[in-house]
């Protein structure tokens, strides 16, 4: 969620949104899209072109620009594609072509929502993360591309700590970007990798890891019951519900009360990390629409990092990894929090694709090491 202090969307996320829109993950909003499909006619053939409403791609872009939407051209094209099923490039190539009457109602409502600075992902009801199409609503933070750095970092840890190619089992999950090597010794000791995602939201990290680690058992925690409902729906839609458990409560509390215990091999989290005073500086797409409890990291943004670093050792097996997403400028402070905790080995930092520090990782010392 790095770009919270910057414009919400970039070309990459906009492309992802529309891929999601076409993928058919069901949500109240995709059901609206389903209704739209009945009126749009065959792809590529614009139906009735009379336009008393006067919509064209060009006019839609102008309206979004007037509303202060930075990526107005792209967003108008994405919404038109989602409303009509017609590839967006057609609208870009023919910006003055009237929008068919049959889709104008749906498009008008989408455009008004975007003019009010609602994020495209909420309008479409879906967002792509790690090539997975995930349902999203205003109950959950929209997963950000930079959070994929956390998934990558964790997968690298699994493969590099299990680097015995001659004796390792090698898996290529269909559709996966990674070849994951599993150490057979580790497998024997611990046949199922136990993974905990703290603050799971729509389940983005948990589901990406479940997809990549076929014998992983994942537990996702969140204080928001409505977020957990969405995460559960996403798990079912992806056929992963059998390996993922979602529990509600304050950070690790659901594990305490259920005695679901510790012994996790990995604990991951993208906790809220915007300093409270900075929330008002965020773009309206974030400040107005995304859940405050997913953003607000307390006075210095590190309230949850502190709590997780303090509490995670009770649930992490010796040698297991803790991986935390951090905001811009927060990595040094989080590394220091880990250094001060006797429970972890030296912290490592992983950068995202823009070159910013994005993930801090550390392994749990055995109690005798501490």
Ligand X SMILES: C[S@@+](CC[C@H](N)C(=O)[O-])C[C@H]1O[C@@H](n2cnc3c(N)ncnc32)[C@H](O)[C@@H]1O
Of the ranges 12-20, 84-92, 184-192, 217-225, which one interacts with ligand X (CB under 6 A)? 217-225
Give the per-residue SS3 of 87-145: CHHHHHHCCCCECCHHHHHHHHHHHHHHHCCCCHHHHHCEEEECCEEEECCCCCCCCCH
Question: CA nearest 179: which of 131, 213, 147?
Answer: 213
| Among the listed residues 85, 98, 119, 143, the single contact to ligand X using CB under 6 A | 143
1 forms part of the interface with ligand X (CB under 6 A): yes
Smallest separation, CB 155 to ligand X (Å): 16
- Token output for 336: 């220091």
| Among the listed residues 85, 145, 271, 320, the single contact to ligand X using CB under 6 A | 271
- Token output for 137: 């609503």
Smallest separation, CB 211 to ligand X (Å): 15
The pairs formed by 8-15 with CB atoms below 8 angstroms and a separation of 24 or more are 8/119, 8/283, 8/285, 8/286, 9/70, 9/71, 9/75, 9/119, 9/120, 9/285, 10/71, 10/145, 11/71, 11/74, 12/145, 13/121, 13/127, 13/144, 13/145, 14/71, 14/74, 14/75, 14/78, 14/120
Count of chain residues binding ligand X (CB under 6 A): 21
227 forms part of the interface with ligand X (CB under 6 A): yes
| Among the listed residues 27, 56, 147, 330, the single contact to ligand X using CB under 6 A | 147
Question: CA nearest 341: which of 312, 368, 319?
Answer: 312
d(CA 203, CA 244): 10
237 forms part of the interface with ligand X (CB under 6 A): no
Return the number of the residue (183 or 234) whose C-beta is nearest ligand X: 234
Return the number of the residue (111 or 121) whose C-beta is nearest ligand X: 121
Of the ranges 17-25, 45-53, 111-119, 140-148, which one interacts with ligand X (CB under 6 A)? 140-148
224 forms part of the interface with ligand X (CB under 6 A): yes
Question: CA nearest 363: which of 307, 304, 323, 308?
Answer: 323
| Among the listed residues 222, 265, 352, 357, the single contact to ligand X using CB under 6 A | 222
275 forms part of the interface with ligand X (CB under 6 A): no
Smallest separation, CB 240 to ligand X (Å): 15
207 forms part of the interface with ligand X (CB under 6 A): no
Q: Are 321 and 361 in contact (CB under 8 A)?
A: yes
| Among the listed residues 25, 193, 196, 204, the single contact to ligand X using CB under 6 A | 204
313 forms part of the interface with ligand X (CB under 6 A): no
16 forms part of the interface with ligand X (CB under 6 A): no
Interacting residue ranges for ligand X, rule: CB under 6 A: 1, 141, 143, 147, 199-201, 204-205, 221-224, 227, 250-251, 270-272, 293-294
């Amino acid at each position: 969620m790095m770009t919270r202090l910057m414009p919400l969307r970039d070309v990459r996320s906009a492309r992802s949104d529309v891929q999601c829109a076409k993928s058919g993950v069901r949500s109240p909003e995709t059901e609206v899209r389903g209704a739209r499909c009945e009126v749009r006619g065959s792809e590529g053939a614009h139906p009735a072109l009379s336009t008393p409403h006067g919509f064209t791609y060009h006019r839609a872009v102008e309206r979004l620009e007037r509303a202060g939407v930075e990526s107005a051209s792209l967003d108008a094209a994405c919404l038109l594609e989602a409303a009509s099923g017609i590839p967006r490039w057609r609208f870009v190539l023919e910006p003055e072509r009237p929008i068919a009457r049959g889709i104008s109602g749906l498009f008008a409502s989408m455009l008004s929502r975007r003019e009010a600075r609602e994020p495209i992902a909420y309008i479409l009801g879906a967002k792509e993360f790690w090539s997975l199409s995930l349902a999203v609503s205003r109950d959950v933070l929209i997963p950000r591309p930079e959070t994929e750095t956390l998934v990558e970092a964790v997968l690298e840890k699994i493969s590099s700590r299990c680097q015995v190619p001659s004796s390792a089992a090698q898996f290529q999950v269909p559709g996966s970007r990674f070849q994951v090597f599993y150490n057979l010794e580790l497998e024997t000791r611990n046949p199922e990798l136990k993974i905990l995602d703290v603050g799971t939201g729509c389940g983005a990290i948990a589901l990406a890891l479940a997809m990549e680690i076929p014998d992983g058992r994942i537990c996702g925690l969140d204080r928001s019951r409505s977020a957990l409902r969405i995460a559960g729906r996403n798990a079912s839609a992806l056929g992963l519900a059998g390996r993922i458990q979602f529990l509600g409560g304050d950070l690790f509390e659901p594990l305490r009360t259920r005695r679901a215990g510790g012994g996790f091999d990995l604990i991951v989290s993208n906790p809220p990390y915007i300093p409270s005073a900075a929330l008002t500086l965020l773009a309206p797409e974030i400040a107005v629409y995304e859940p405050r409890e997913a953003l607000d990291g307390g006075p210095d943004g590190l309230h949850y990092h502190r709590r997780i670093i303090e509490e995670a050792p009770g649930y992490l097996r010796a040698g297991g990894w803790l991986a935390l997403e951090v905001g811009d400028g927060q990595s040094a402070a989080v590394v220091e929090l880990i250094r001060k905790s006797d429970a972890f080995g030296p912290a490592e930092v992983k950068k995202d694709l823009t070159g910013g520090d994005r993930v801090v990782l550390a392994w749990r010392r055995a109690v005798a090491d501490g």
